[in-house]
Amino acid sequence: MHQYRTHTCSDLRADHAGQNVRLSGWIQKIRDHGGVLFIDLRDTHGVTQCVIDQDSPLLEQASQWRNESVLTIDGTVRPRPNDTANTKIPTGAIEVYVTHAILQTQADVIPFQVAEEDQAGEDIRLRYRYLDLRRPGMHGRVRLRNNVIRHLREAMWAQGFQEFNTPILTASSPEGARDFLVASRIHPGKFYALPQAPQQFKQLLMVSGFDRYFQIAPCFRDEDGRADRLAEFYQLDMEMSFVTQEDVFATMEPVIGELFTKYNDYTGVSHSVTNWPWPRLTYKDAMMRFGSDKPDLRNPLEIRDVTEIFKRDDVTFNAFKAVLEKGGVVRAICAPKVSDKPRSFFDKLNDWARGEGAPGLGYVLFEASEGKGPIAKFIPQAAQEELRRLMNCGDGDAVFFVCDKEQTAAKMAGKARDRICDDMNIREKGVFKFCWIVDFPMYEFDEKTQKIDFSHNPFSMPQGGLEVLNTKDPLDILAYQYDCVCNGYELCSGAIRNHRPDIMERAFAIAGYSKEALEAKFGGMLNAFRYGPPPHGGCAFGVDRLVMLLAHEPNLREVYAFVMNGAFEDPMMNAPSEVSAQQLKDLHIRLDVKDKLERKAS
């Protein structure tokens, strides 16, 4: 017999009755029923109930065992009495009568419950992450993550992609976030950067002629923490040569669509998945209709532009007119059949809008062909009829308004759209709704720096190439850039790349980079592009967000084995930590943290 087990804790069934078996695992729970001990023994596969009778010589020893201690037992499988069978677990028809036991390790008193959920805070869970990972929810999600990565890898291999590992220590580059820097000991005063993404290397692989690349790539970004963003994360990174935007979509839709089809019922509820090809929405259309470039299509509400109605001479709502005179716009959302809602429904929405920094959320409620509400009196009947027609409203429907500068109004209307949907409880359930957002602007105007900058990926090909860079207003130039969105989450970002040095030089010049700066930052790739680069494009899907969606978890920390808290600290490993003076000396680094802290204190 094996030293530790003949079966796992999920193997035994009724047809094993009478067999002598050996099991090993953790004591999940001990229950004393009148001198008879029932032990739930757990391993990574499942749970088996083990029994120590009151006349067993093990009884006194077993009474000293603690939860989460590791135990090996020998015993005989027997059926449970019919009225005690547990249909919730695969081994629920049997129990093991224990004849011999070895306590492999005795656990200390555990800091929080493992067998069941309790209210342990994130800090203590992360400090004892190895215990937290034993809990069924965490254990299941980490296994799901493993299965997701396996599926992605096998699906990419099946499509002829080759897997590469690109460098972790590389050069700093402007990818849109701060780099994590690593000091060089042998090159004083110089630093490596951890990659925000393997962007340049995967493009260089296309120049090298490999045609189809992928990897499950670690990425690092020194950004402020939040629930759906971590300092270290993984993505399914891919690149293809001689492809159009549609080729990338056609390649990746089956990979991701089949993943969601396979694991759509992870939480026990089956979800439908959008059939591919997935809908394509332009960035401009998405911002207009949904107020977001990552719209949740489960929300049936849409936004409309009603600026012209409020510009009419007979409309006298001066609060909006003052904004319109400065170039503002009015966005509207029709909420169907809300006339039966109490006044508090509308008041709470108004208070919520004020909390978001808006003056409020004005509305008109249509009943018996008459508009009611706080701003209805400023909109005459003819304008109300035009509003009803434009918004496709009927009796019992309400129209909510947002008025501001175009970008601000779009974002606020997007938030209002989601808030109204949730307050009405009309978000579609049991679905994964995918779409592609395409035609992103190449550039945006940065209000802080008062300069034009890249709005997305700086290595993207502008639509129209060099000609549009030389002739069009930069803010009107579109790029072959795209995002994949599902249920309001951005899962992927990608682009058809700029593979021509002349176009790259001009594109970066518009964003304020001199030719010398471009050579200094991207000289390796720019030089490679002078030796026959193929047209190419690709994208990267966030592995963690894929798992988040499948597990219906809003927090990325719930789908990782080991992770930092929101302040990017690891309380289990005590990271980040101070280092010795000798280590700093070896790296040619001198700290001024003490001086800064003293100045701050004074």
In a domain, 69, yes or no: yes
pLDDT of residue 143: 95
204 shares a domain with 99: no
In a domain, 237, yes or no: yes
**Mean pLDDT value of segment 564-578:** 88
Distance from C-alpha of 355 to C-alpha of 230, rounded to nearest angstrom: 27
In a domain, 452, yes or no: no
Residue 434 is encoded by which pair of tokens?
């995918």
160 shares a domain with 80: no
The predicted-structure confidence for 149-208, as pLDDT tens digits, reads as follows 999 999 999 999 999 999 999 988 755 678 999 999 999 999 999 999 999 999 999 999
Q: Which residue matches tokens 């701003």?
A: 375
Q: Report the relative pairing of strands 489-496 and 536-542 from DSSP bridges.
A: antiparallel
Distance from C-alpha of 191 to C-alpha of 194, rounded to nearest angstrom: 10
Distance from C-alpha of 204 to C-alpha of 591, rounded to nearest angstrom: 37
257 shares a domain with 146: yes
Residue 602 is encoded by which pair of tokens?
């004074």
Q: Write down the mean pLDDT value for the chain.
A: 92
> Residue 315 sits in a domain of what CATH number?
3.30.1360.30
Q: Over the Cα atoms of the chain, what is R_g?
A: 30
Number of domains in the chain: 3
344 shares a domain with 246: no
pLDDT of residue 596: 54
256 shares a domain with 309: no
In a domain, 192, yes or no: yes
In a domain, 451, yes or no: no
The predicted-structure confidence for 17-43, as pLDDT tens digits, reads as follows 999 999 999 999 999 988 899 999 999
337 shares a domain with 240: no
**Mean pLDDT value of segment 232-254:** 97
In a domain, 115, yes or no: no
Comparing 72 with 446, the larger pLDDT belongs to 72
Find residue 31's DSSP bridge partners.
38
User: If pLDDT is split at 50, 70 and 90, which confidence band does 600 have?
Assistant: low
Distance from C-alpha of 47 to C-alpha of 190, rounded to nearest angstrom: 54
Q: Which residue matches tokens 């193929």?
A: 534
Within 10 angstroms of residue 85's Cβ, the number of other Cβ atoms is: 15
340 shares a domain with 221: no
* Backbone dihedral angles phi then psi of residue 53, each to the nearest 5 degrees: -70, 165
391 shares a domain with 341: yes
Q: 363 Cβ partners below 8 Å, 6+ apart?
A: 346, 349, 373, 374, 375, 398, 399, 400, 401
152 shares a domain with 261: yes
pLDDT of residue 370: 83
In a domain, 293, yes or no: no
313 shares a domain with 271: no
> Which residue segment(s) compose the domain that 79 sits in?
14-105
Q: Global pTM? A: 0.90
Q: Are 524 and 471 in contact (CB under 8 A)?
A: no
> Residue 525 sits in a domain of what CATH number?
3.30.930.10
Q: Which of 427, 447, 477 is the last residue of a domain?
A: 427
User: If pLDDT is split at 50, 70 and 90, which confidence band does 595 have?
Assistant: low
Distance from C-alpha of 540 to C-alpha of 529, rounded to nearest angstrom: 22
Burial 109-144 (b: 16+ CB within 10 A, else e): eeeeebbeeeebeeeebbbbbebbbbbeebbebbeb
Q: Which of 427, 446, 474 is the last residue of a domain?
A: 427
Q: Are 330 and 320 in contact (CB under 8 A)?
A: yes
Distance from C-alpha of 139 to C-alpha of 126, rounded to nearest angstrom: 14
User: If pLDDT is split at 50, 70 and 90, which confidence band does 567 have?
Assistant: confident
Looking at the chain, the whole-number percentage of residues with pLDDT higher than 90 is: 79
The predicted-structure confidence for 422-455, as pLDDT tens digits, reads as follows 999 999 999 999 999 999 999 999 888 889 999 8
Instruction: Give the 3-state DSSP-derived string for 77-117, with helices as H, strands as E and coil as C.
Output: EEECCHHHCCCCCCCCCEEEEEEEEEEEECCCCCCCCCCCC
pLDDT of residue 121: 87
Q: Is the per-residue pLDDT at 602 higher than 60?
A: no
> Residue 71 sits in a domain of what CATH number?
2.40.50.140
In a domain, 460, yes or no: no
305 shares a domain with 269: no
Q: Which of 373, 401, 427 is the last residue of a domain?
A: 427
Distance from C-alpha of 527 to C-alpha of 520, rounded to nearest angstrom: 11
95 shares a domain with 36: yes
* Backbone dihedral angles phi then psi of residue 414, each to the nearest 5 degrees: -60, -45
